[in-house]
Homo-oligomer: A and B are copies of this chain.
Amino acid sequence: MSDNNNRPSAKEQQPLVIFMPSGRRGRVAPGQSLLDVARQMGVEIESICGGRLTCGKCKVRIEEGDFQKHGIQSTAKHLSPANEEEQWLLERINGTDCRLSCSAYVYGDMLVSVPEESRAQKQVIRKSATERVIDIAPAIRKVYVEVDQAELGEHRGDWGRLQAALREQWQLEDLTVDLQVLRRLQPVLRQGKWAVTVTLWHDREVIDVQPGYVEGIYGLAVDIGSTTVAGHLCDLRTGEILATESTMNPQVTYGEDLMSRVSYAMMHQDGLEKMHKAIIDTLNRLAVSAAKQADIQARDIHEAVLVGNTTMVHILLDINPTELGGAPFALANRDAMDIKARELKLRLHPGAYVHVLPSEAGHVGADNVAVLIAEEPHRQDENLLVVDVGTNAEIVLGNKEWMYSASSPTGPAFEGAQIAYGVRATPGAIERVRIDPETKEARFRVIGDERWSDEWRLGSGASPDEQPKHLAVGICGSGIIEVVAEMYLTGILWPDGRFNTTIESDRIQWDGRKGSYILATGEESANHEPILVTQDDVRNIQLAKAALYAGAKLLMNRANIKAVDRIILAGAFGSFIDPKYAMVLGLIPDCDLEKVYAVGNAAGDGARIALLNKDKRREAQEIAYWVRYIETAVDPDFQTEFVNAIHLPNKEDSFPHLAGILPEVSVAENGSPARGERRRRLRTKVIKTEE
């Protein structure tokens, strides 16, 4: 491998190496491996085997070499030739046009191209309405080491020898070892002929050791929702999502909403135990099923990141959530935690850790912190409002200067509860609604059928194709938003939420002073009874949206801003509602509709991001402390804002972006039309004043 250059003086000149695409360049001492040269220049090339020609991860392409030196045609090798082992490995990985940087030694100038897959600092793009690049820097990694054989007269022990090998070959110091690993260490070392692949957690603890060279490192990110548990199984080397699984949270048996689960834990001796076991069993099943999809085993999963609201996290950790059920809503622990999965009886790898993201306050949990990690309001120049709608809505308003959060007691109306004909989002549930402004006739779409109801053909004369796949069974969350919004836009409702008594339509029924709107006729309905939207339904939606809006307004007041620049709707509910209708009803404050996005399960995405990148965990901990949480329950401003937000929006006050959309009615102080003849007191106790 010596340089045969005719001019020895040239040999003294250090070779120039340029790495692409980073463009980093420098002169280096000759005879070093390209891998070492790259590291010196801060170019991160992946390597699992540490230069033992086993992993093939460090391949690079030599794009150009200065084969002419000092004007004289040179036969010099700029790079040592590939030996047999390298050639064999390059063929095996389809890389014969490449070199392995660990065994290619530099002797002359060259331009080296590092392909994407060889870069140590990989990235993935989060596919969502708000695309984001995620750097792959997980908390766990695998390294391959060759360990000194045990010899008579040398007493370090197998763990001592493994530590020495990790220190020498990977510069890893002060490692601890899981007892489970220690139990298998001796046979594994011998089975691997003193070559093993070690899995490290935070470069601090050895959590697994496998004989020989082994690839593949996997993690699970799970968002434990009150209703749904959703997980992503990820390849932690590439960042790829290998499987996505979601399942019902079986705790629903013990209570639909959080408060009823807290009550269940309070009222039953074994309540906590049952709910804890239910979620652990579910996570175990989810892990098995996701692993199966990805063609691995659940015990190949070496880490999990779990998020959930505070009650879910308490129950997950087998901590009684009773204190969350009443003021002052004290958390057992706000901080992030790392716990051995086996301690929770999670059947991942026996050495696996579970990382639980931190919470913000008694009612804003790790799931919201995950949303922040995914949506990054704390990195924005603009004022970003993030709304995660559920039984409790978590609201965050912030930018890179400040951030506020709050939890708003919206109640379950948005989920179809407290609605006369409300149902969960199941096939046949009405999810989209349009009302003709002139005739007040409705058409709708149900879940499970792409067509609008006015395209259906009903009755025995219709062919199966023409008939709807599902007749209407009720109204789900997004449907109730749309129908109430459409009723308002078409003048069926007054701004104060009462039915407009001046409209004459067969669609409107009256029971004394209370109106109802026939959304689906008996013919269109699965049980042949018409599906109605009642005055009480409208009231409940008003109360829910007022709570949400008041929360957002409270934060805007605290931040002393008049308008937000962007709004993100997180969570499943947010994905199904049309931003226009959400704003027409006043769920969210005024904003350019083009700047209102639904991002789906941002909490799950945040969990995945924290799984792929350990630095994001530190960031999560920081923002969990940094965000200023406003307790709506005791804030007098919240009550005021709530009362002010009961009415439906009108362009005159705070919704300039709805100009041309909102109905052309001017509104008196109590919310009924100024021209209106019925100046009756609105029948809810939250109304402040009567004129």
Contact = CB atoms under 8 A, between A and B. Distances in A.
A238 B155 CA distance: 37
B332 A157 contact: yes
A155 B333 CA distance: 9
Contact of A157 (B179, B183, B330): B330
A155 B361 contact: yes
B332 A159 contact: yes
Chain A interface, DSSP helix/strand/loop, else mixed: loop
B158 A318 contact: no
Interface stretch (A282-290, A491-499, A585-593, A628-636): A628-636
Contacts of A333: 157-160, 177, 182, 185
Given A159-B333, A159-B335, A183 B151 contact: no
A260 interface: no
A382 to B, nearest CB: 26
Interface residues of A, number: 44
A339 interface: yes
A320 interface: yes
Nearest to A190: B323
B343 A179 contact: yes
B634 A322 contact: no
Nearest to A633: B152
A160 B153 CA distance: 50
B343 A159 contact: no
Interface string A311-326: 0000001111011000
Contacts of A150: 323, 328, 330
Contacts of A183: 317-320, 332
A157 B331 contact: yes
Contact of A634 (B152, B177, B332): B152
- The CB with the most chain B CB atoms within 10 A, among A318, A335, A359, A634, is that of A335
A328 B154 contact: yes
A266 B317 CA distance: 39
Contacts of A329: 152
Contacts of A187: 320
A375 interface: no
Given A186-B323, A187-B320, A339-B179, A155 B362 contact: yes
A185 B323 CA distance: 11
A27 interface: no
Task: Give the top 6 A-B pairs by smallest Cβ distance, nearest first.
Answer: A150-B330, A157-B331, A157-B334, A155-B361, A152-B328, A159-B333
